Amino acid sequence: MAKVPGFAKAFAGRWRIVEMDNWDGDFLDLVDEAHLTFKGKSDGEIAFGALNGFLDVRYGARDGSACAEFSWEGHDENDPACGRGWAMIGTAGRLVGHFYIHNGDDSAFVCERG
């Protein structure tokens, strides 16, 4: 069994997406509760609006803080979609980062545990 990186423990579990720059709260929960979930050594998932995808995560540090950088692959309104993103532990234990859709939109986001 592969060892889980130390930084991964700070991100492990489900995070509720509570804010995104480009989409309002009603859209975020359109199909399912908007979330970003980190599992194990390098897996996870993301869902908001009509988008859902699986993450391939790499953990490390950025500016002295724990950071998770990820690529993702899934569907947006049933069309194949992919992209990348990153997340860091911000103030008050919130997760902050940026999400990119390949050849599409991008947005900063904020998550809370849960």
Contacts of 17 (CB under 8 A, 6+ apart): 28, 34, 35, 36, 48, 109, 110, 111
Span 43-91, pLDDT tens digits:
999 999 999 999 999 998 888 788 999 999 999 999 999 999 999 998 8
3-state secondary structure at position 31: coil
**Residue 93 — very low, low, confident or very high, per pLDDT cuts 50/70/90?**
confident
